[in-house]
Structure 1
Amino acid sequence: MGADLKWLGRTWLLPLIALAVLGFSASWGVAHLSGLKTWLATLDTVEAGILASLVAGLFTPVGALPVLLLRKISQRVEDSLMGFGAGIMLAATAFSLAQPAIAEAVRLTGGMLSALLIVTLGITVGGLVIMAIERFLPHEHFALGKQSGADVSKLRRIWLFIFAITIHNFPEGLAVGVGYGSGDIQAGLALTLGIGLQNLPEGLIVALGLISVGYGRAAAFGLAFLSGLVEPVGGTLGAVAVALAETLLPWGLAFAAGAMLFVISHEIIPESHRQGHEGYATMGVLAGFTVMLMLDATL
């Protein structure tokens, strides 16, 4: 474990530093784009939610761009990047979904106890729904490793993994779509950027996994792009639902929070710990959580 924590000066840290710098730059830039916020304020909540979930989903192919130049990354770097994504999702769940859900529920019901009951039930239902999807739809955990070759079993596994990523993108898009339901543009922007940053390492991992089983770089990039397009589907559903009935907003926020929490705990963190790089993955979680906290505070 001692050697596992000697991370200073190691090349695995560079992607986390790059993503942290990107997060700071994005938060500072968006915070000073008053014209962007003014324009978003002219959109209704459905339009803003759909557009934002599309933008967040398009971060996935951006993250896959390095496959045009390289063919693999180390397992240590992959686990660190997955931890980074989990940290962003954890902070987004707490600050951009659960807290606003409580505030909206208090506004609608007038009492903290009833508000907490709504949010608790919403989080529980969100987690249970994703659990049911995980249980009944075929998918598989996948560790990238250093193998190469296109044997049938590995080809099947990578496609099941990509299907799992696609399943996970749905609650992320749902969260972004619902996040604009309250009309809080600044909170919605923070959530959009946070989910987008989380999609960067996800897109890279999907594309590299495809290359590892024999797909060309262009095909791997294209399929990573398609996996991100599930997010606007979830975003549209969430935005429309909360627009049809204002009382659904706290439920929608809480449901999205529960769905995200399930994905983080059941999939992303265990996956990042499977290859013995728990220390690196945990540092990634801390970095991602900090970046999302910075985004939320800045915006």
Structure 2
Amino acid sequence: MGLPTVRIRWRQRMGFGIVLLGALVLVAHGWHRVETHPQVRDALLGGLVAALATALGAVPVWFSQQLSARVQDTLFGFGAGVMLAACSFSLILPGLEAARAGGAGGWAAGGILGASILLGAAALLALERWLPHEHFIKGVEGPASRTLRRTWLFVFAIALHNLPEGLAIGVAYAGGDAMRASALATGIAIQDVPEGLVVAVALLAAGYRRSVAVGLGMASGLVEPLGAVLGAVVISHAVSLLPWGLGFAAGAMLFVISHEIIPESHRKGHEAWATGGLMWGFVLMMLLDTALG
């Protein structure tokens, strides 16, 4: 075993250990907050609904594996559109309002949101670079290796981008506007349904057993409740951080849209279908935000 391989595996184990430790600390510290603070409790429920939507999306793979590449790309585009509208109407605009309510002027409010958006994107970029998910598949060579690596890269990307979605739910509920937070959680849950489906389909197409594909598709959304509680706990401790939290979540989601979802939806040559899905997803989330917010 070469030195680079040892370092890669060490980084993987260390990364997963830190993530697991952080999750355990969050659960232990946050449970009391969940029991005694309604905003944290609502955030947890919103995150659980999103995770349940992801799980429901994976269920049809038990009965059928037929999902064309064109349909998958359209679903990717739809999810990107929902997330893009959520960033705009449920995170960035409320963040600007929160900054102004805290006494910031127009330029200062824009600067706060701009800086926090860049911080959110930088955090996701660092996390993606630090966790070397392209090296998960070992012992397989040739085209099969490339297929498995791309499949697991995609699965990891979906699970990773569920973290800022959960954070966005938690921050929104901590902001005190329950209707707007509910609109955001509803929109995220809607776009999580096709995510669970395409994860399970991708794993099934890569040769995994149907039970494994469905199980991992369901599990890919479990990070959302943890992210929701984390976002709500942090913001409820320091209300002044609300515009920063909203901008951070928006930046993380914008990074995922541009870096993962849109490129994946265009990779197989169905750009028009993916773009159509994005437009419909954006309009649906905008209507949800207008009606519920």
TM-score (norm 1): 0.80
1:56 corresponds to which of 45, 50, 53: 50
Determine which of 195, 214, 225 is the counterpart of 2:218: 225
Q: Percent identity?
A: 53
Equivalent in the alignment of 1:14: none
Q: In the alignment, does 2:281 pair up with 1:288? A: yes
Q: CA deviation at 1:244?
A: 0.5
Residues 175 and 256, structure 1, Cα contact 8 Å, conserved in 2: yes
Unaligned runs of 5+ in 1: 1-41, 141-149
Determine the C-alpha separation between the residues in 2 that align with 1:138 and 1:59: 28
Structure 2 residue aligned with 1:4: none
| Corresponding residue for residue 175 of structure 1 | 168
Higher helix share: 2
Amino acid at match of 1:90: L
SS at match of 1:154: helix
What is the DSSP-based 3-state SS (H/G/I as helix, E as strand, rest coil) of the residue aligned with 1:180?
Answer: helix
CA contact (8 A) 1:138 1:160 kept: no
User: Which stretches of structure 1, 4 residues or more, deviate above 6 A after TM superposition?
Assistant: none
Per the alignment, residue 256 of structure 1 pairs with 249
Please report the TM-score for the alignment, with normalisation by the length of structure 2.
0.81
1:108-136 Cα deviation digits (max 9, x unpaired): 12422221111111111011111111222
The unaligned stretches of length 5 or more in structure 2 are 1-35, 135-142
Give a deviation string over 1:235-276, Cα, whole Å, max 9, x none.
Answer: 111111001100111100000000011111111111111111
Q: 1:70 aligns with which of 61, 64, 69?
A: 64
The equivalent of 1:146 in structure 2 is none
Alignment partners' CA distance in 1, 2:113 and 2:104 = 14
**Cα drift, residue 158 of structure 1:** 2.3
What letter corresponds to residue 104 of structure 1 in structure 2? A
Please say which of residues 281-290 and 159-168 is displaced more in the overlay: 159-168
The alpha carbon displacement at 1:202 in A equals 0.8
CA distance in 1, matches of 2:229, 2:260: 24
Report how far residue 43 of structure 1 moved.
6.2
Match of 1:90 in 2: 84
CA distance in 1, matches of 2:93, 2:158: 26
* TM-aligned CA distance change 1:89 to 1:216, over 3 Å: same
Q: Which amino acid aligns with 2:272?
A: G
Q: Does 1:121 align with 2:115?
A: yes
